[in-house]
């Protein structure tokens, strides 16, 4: 669904960070999508959500013709129109993950800010909105700045923490809320609608795009798979099926998570 809806609504350059998969690369070539092929993360390397920041920065640096960049997740993102259609006000636009509540109400992000940067840092920004690192828009300059700030921040905690899933979310919120990077904070259900843990505020007639009660159509729908009615509508309008590429809950995966948790708590040599 990601590739189909993206190419349906955006005819400009698209870059994707991917692993070396012949079938996928052939499909991306058909869609005229530029690729950066990267190796799969090994057990002792940072999680891909952390590595992707460095990969994205390198990709942007290699493509000087990219004047504006929308960087996003791929698994649970669908497009209803181009994310560049509405004007960008500054160098970087960050999107709120929840339209109500603040960081102290967002257990997962608060946990990772506390784990990566300490309770004192969380206390300084706990009243600020929870921002989503899964979607960000900016000029070339703005995107390179936020990537550099996040890489720096994720290098501060111990390696096993700063390289873990969730560290990117913590670094993104800290970089913006502490003023390391200037960003316009966009309300949810604007350019991006992150429907995640909140009750969906989107409705649509059959065959029509999802829209707010006032008729505004968000360009991007994020975390749509958490609401069956949203998922079903997107599958119907796009003519594609949602494929969840997430890991199965096997005994091996559970053991891996347990060992990772233990590593967080062991002394670390630097």
CATH code for residues 2-265? 3.90.550
The Cα-based distances of 191 to 64, 130, 136 in angstroms read 25, 16, 10
**Nearest residue to 82 (alpha-carbon basis) of 266, 187, 219, 258:** 219
Cβ-contact 89, 184 below 8 angstroms:
yes
Total-model pTM: 0.90
Cβ-contact 36, 55 below 8 angstroms:
yes
Length of the chain equals: 270
**Nearest residue to 196 (alpha-carbon basis) of 118, 126, 134, 244:** 134
Question: What per-residue confidence (pLDDT) applies to 44?
Answer: 79
**Nearest residue to 190 (alpha-carbon basis) of 222, 238, 164, 148:** 222
Domain ranges of the chain: 2-265
Question: What per-residue confidence (pLDDT) applies to 98?
Answer: 79
Strands (E), 105-191: 131-139, 184-186
**Cα separation, 69 vs 60, whole angstroms:** 8
Question: What per-residue confidence (pLDDT) applies to 248?
Answer: 58
Count of Cβ atoms closer than 10 Å to residue 4 Cβ: 15
- What is the SS3 assignment for 263? helix
The Cα-based distances of 158 to 6, 161, 168, 187, 208 in angstroms read 37, 5, 14, 33, 48
For each successive 10 residues of the chain (270 residues), what is the average pLDDT? 95 96 95 95 88 97 97 96 96 90 92 96 97 97 98 90 93 98 96 85 92 96 93 95 71 68 59
**239's torsion region: left (phi>0), alpha (psi -120 to 50) or beta?**
left
Question: What per-residue confidence (pLDDT) applies to 258?
Answer: 67
- What is the SS3 assignment for 207? coil
Question: What per-residue confidence (pLDDT) applies to 261?
Answer: 62
- β-pairing, 34-37 vs 15-18, is parallel
**Cα separation, 56 vs 59, whole angstroms:** 5
**Nearest residue to 193 (alpha-carbon basis) of 98, 86, 93, 82:** 98
């Amino acid at each position: 669904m990601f590739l189909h809806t993206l190419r349906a609504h955006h005819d400009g350059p698209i870059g994707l960070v991917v692993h070396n998969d012949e079938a996928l690369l052939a499909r991306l070539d058909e869609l005229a999508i530029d690729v950066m092929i990267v190796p799969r993360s090994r057990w002792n390397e940072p999680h891909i959500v952390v590595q992707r920041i460095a990969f994205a920065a390198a990709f942007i640096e290699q493509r000087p013709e990219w004047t504006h960049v929308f960087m996003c997740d791929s698994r649970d993102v669908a497009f209803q129109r181009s994310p560049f259609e509405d004007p960008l006000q500054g160098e970087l636009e960050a999107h709120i993950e929840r339209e109500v509540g603040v960081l102290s109400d967002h257990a997962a992000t608060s946990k990772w800010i506390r784990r990566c940067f300490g309770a004192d840092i969380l206390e300084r920004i706990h009243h600020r909105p929870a921002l989503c690192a899964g979607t960000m828009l900016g000029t070339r300059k703005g995107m390179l700045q936020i990537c550099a700030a996040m890489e720096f921040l994720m290098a501060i905690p111990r390696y096993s923490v700063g390289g873990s899933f969730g560290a990117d979310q913590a670094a993104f919120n800290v970089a913006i809320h502490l003023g390391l990077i200037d960003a316009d904070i966009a309300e949810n259900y604007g350019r991006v609608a992150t429907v995640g843990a909140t009750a969906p505020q989107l409705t649509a007639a059959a065959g029509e795009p999802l829209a707010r009660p006032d008729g505004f159509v968000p360009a991007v729908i994020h975390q749509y798979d958490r609401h069956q009615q949203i998922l079903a509508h997107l599958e119907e309008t796009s003519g594609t099926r949602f494929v969840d590429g997430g890991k199965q809950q096997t005994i091996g995966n559970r053991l891996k998570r347990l060992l990772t948790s233990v590593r967080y708590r062991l002394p670390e040599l630097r």
